[in-house]
Structure 1
Amino acid sequence: MGTSYSVKWLAADSAGSDQVIQQTAALSSAADAMLADVNQSMSTYITDSELSQLNRASGTVTQQLSEPLYQVLELSRQISVKSDGAFDVTVGPLVNLWGFGPDGRVTKAPSAADILALQPRIGYQKVKLDAEQSAVERAEGVYIDLSAVAKGYGVDRLAELVESHGITDYLVEIGGELRASGLKLNDEPWLIAIESPVSGKRAIQRIIAVNDVAVATSGDYRNYFEENGIRFSHTIDPATGRPISHKLASVTVLRPTCAEADALATAFTVMGEDKAYAYAIANGIDAMFIVKSDTGFVEKQTPGFAAYLVE
């Protein structure tokens, strides 16, 4: 996934040091193998991954899928429908065109003609799922990119792996996406820092105290390029084929699973602060939005999210 992962847990009081060392080694080995399997299924960077082979197939293709890949595509479909296409796994060709995919970086914005030429290949409706057969029908020329949901799915799989070892108090993380369960030492909640969306430096915007929830953050302040003083974000709006241009700099979403939080964070980033906030309120989603203003950044939180803040 091009990033790091970490697993932290509270060992049982009865566990000796040798037992903890053995458990750590077993978990580390199992986690490496499990995440390699996720990559081999869903990566667009691995040429022989299950997803890469599906993307390379010519014409309209119907293919039976592994259970993990089918699950992630089904969750993606559901969020695409509910978000009216703000989340769309077929946006990959545009992501690549703008230099944020496996094809490598660019320093110049593509032409309107190049963007228009790709638009017929974009649209989540072009990926149809068959639940009975665990199969997908992918329209001709469609390229599926799961980078906005697969990392969250990996976090969920890590959490399941940790729980299978009898651990109930833990914090698992991949590249900043997290899932917490139970409590840490002294019955304290896990503390998570939300980064301030300031370019060129690391700073903490807020700290939240969490347990039994997943956390995902999306923003436009790290991955971008500039041309003639104009910043082009890595988040592409499927409706326009261009990077987002509104003032929402960062959004953090809390959900029961990290896959859902990951996908919704991207959807909200595409929507912009007003539409995303209204969606979060209407659907009972805890979220915090950090919005650019003339004097800095302004926070906007749903009532449910505010309860997690550490003052």
Structure 2
Amino acid sequence: MSALQWRDWSCAVRVVLADDHGHHEAPTAEVADRVERVVRGLMRDVELSVSRFRDDSDISRVNGRTGVLVPVRPLTVELVELALEAADATYGACDPTVGRQLLAAGYDVDIDQVRRRNPGDFVPAPPTRRADWTEVRVDRGLGRVGIPAGLALDLGATAKAWTADEAAARVLATIGIPALVTIGGDVAVAGSGPAWPVEVSEHEGEPGQVVSLTSGGLATSSTAGRRWLTTMGEQHHVIDPATGRPARGPVRTASVHAGSCLRANSLATAALVWGVRAHELLAGRTSRLVMTDGTVVNSGAWAQDVAA
């Protein structure tokens, strides 16, 4: 298996191919170029659709024009609809309308910039209303998305995971080789490949548990990773829609396997919000919960292999 890796979206992007190369070898220059163009091109398109940190993205335009249906790209319509489906499937825990709550917590620019900022330089603007995904309006026929005043979209819990799924599928379609794609803690595989070894850890670059992934996706969401200091204390990026503040429950990290990385990450994010009910609501799923006291709770096939 050969691999190539780079950084984008403030995280590691890695593509592994089930080819005839050795473990730590790079693919041929031609294959590497094709793969990288496919994945980078997809990520650029997703960024133009849903990045909160680009003024020219569709999501920024929707957030800036509340109360009206705003023309957007077809990809944006699809990603918003998928985010709403994830909200419904997680009983509202994975809510894409927490954009203003994230701003209030200090996550108003790229995470690397947030961490470099002097905490005293940030002045929070409290949200004027509670997040409510049921208030989002999508007109697929006209290609428009709208939200009411007081809300802002953030698709961080679903768009990156969908990108991993789509990237793996596109790599397979482009070069005909089974592939694994990792974007941060989101992992997706496509094609009839091997039992892919995947290292699962709370922090990027740290040692973790190695599990086997044969299909679908595996995602890890954590309150321990993307953290920063503000005058209000330490904050993180997983918002509890019920309180409008970073989740403070007993689960600090959740890893979930599902039929897609999108589904896996929706459930992993929701688990941090569900807190004490996470194990119950993930019943039957292959999952691993790390509690704030360090206790680990496994379910499904996690204790052996992660496979479907």
TM-score over 0.5 for the alignment? Answer: yes
Distance 2:63 2:132 in 1: 15
The residue that corresponds to 1:3 in the other structure is 11
Let me know the Cα RMSD of the aligned residues.
3.1
Query: What is the DSSP-based 3-state SS (H/G/I as helix, E as strand, rest coil) of the residue aligned with 1:61?
Result: coil
Percent identity among equivalent residues? 22
Instruction: Say whether the 8 Å CA contact 2:69–2:137 is kept in structure 1.
Output: no
Query: What is the DSSP-based 3-state SS (H/G/I as helix, E as strand, rest coil) of the residue aligned with 1:162?
Result: helix
1:75 to 73, 76, 82: 82
Query: What is the DSSP-based 3-state SS (H/G/I as helix, E as strand, rest coil) of the residue aligned with 2:47?
Result: helix
Instruction: Say whether the 8 Å CA contact 1:60–1:137 is kept in structure 2.
Output: yes
Higher share in helix = 1
The residue that corresponds to 1:174 in the other structure is 183
Residues 225 and 305 (structure 1 numbering): CA distance in 2 closer, same or farther, change over 3 Å?
same
Does 2:46 align with 1:38?
yes
Residues 306 and 67 (structure 1 numbering): CA distance in 2 closer, same or farther, change over 3 Å?
farther
The residue that corresponds to 1:107 in the other structure is 119
Distance 2:228 2:32 in 1: 40
Residues 126 and 170 (structure 1 numbering): CA distance in 2 closer, same or farther, change over 3 Å?
same
Does 2:303 align with 1:306?
yes
Instruction: Say whether the 8 Å CA contact 1:196–1:202 is kept in structure 2.
Output: no
List per-residue Cα deviations over 1:57-109 (Å, max 9, x = no partner): 1x41113433322222122212212322211111111111111232845737x
Query: What is the DSSP-based 3-state SS (H/G/I as helix, E as strand, rest coil) of the residue aligned with 1:136?
Result: strand
Query: What is the DSSP-based 3-state SS (H/G/I as helix, E as strand, rest coil) of the residue aligned with 2:42?
Result: helix
Does 2:278 align with 1:276?
yes
Distance 1:289 1:77 in 2: 25
Structure 2 residue runs of 5 or longer lacking an equivalent are 1-8
Structure 1 residue runs of 5 or longer lacking an equivalent are none
Matches within 5 A, 1:1-311: 1-11=9-19, 20-57=28-65, 59-102=66-109, 104=114, 107=119, 115=126, 118-120=127-129, 122-181=131-190, 189-196=195-202, 203-225=206-228, 231-272=234-275, 274-281=276-283, 284-293=284-293, 297-308=294-305
Instruction: Say whether the 8 Å CA contact 2:172–2:190 is kept in structure 1.
Output: no
Which structure has the greater CA radius of gyration?
1
Distance 1:154 1:32 in 2: 10
Query: What is the DSSP-based 3-state SS (H/G/I as helix, E as strand, rest coil) of the residue aligned with 2:197?
Result: strand
Q: Normalising to structure 1: TM-score of the pair? A: 0.81
Residues 106 and 78 (structure 1 numbering): CA distance in 2 closer, same or farther, change over 3 Å?
farther
**Alignment-mate amino acid for residue 56 of structure 1:** G
Q: Normalising to structure 2: TM-score of the pair? A: 0.82
Instruction: Say whether the 8 Å CA contact 1:11–1:20 is kept in structure 2.
Output: no
Distance 2:234 2:243 in 1: 16
Number of equivalent positions:
290
Residues 122 and 299 (structure 1 numbering): CA distance in 2 closer, same or farther, change over 3 Å?
same
Instruction: Say whether the 8 Å CA contact 2:257–2:306 is kept in structure 1.
Output: no
List per-residue Cα deviations over 1:118-151 (Å, max 9, x = no partner): 1515211221233444432311232101122111
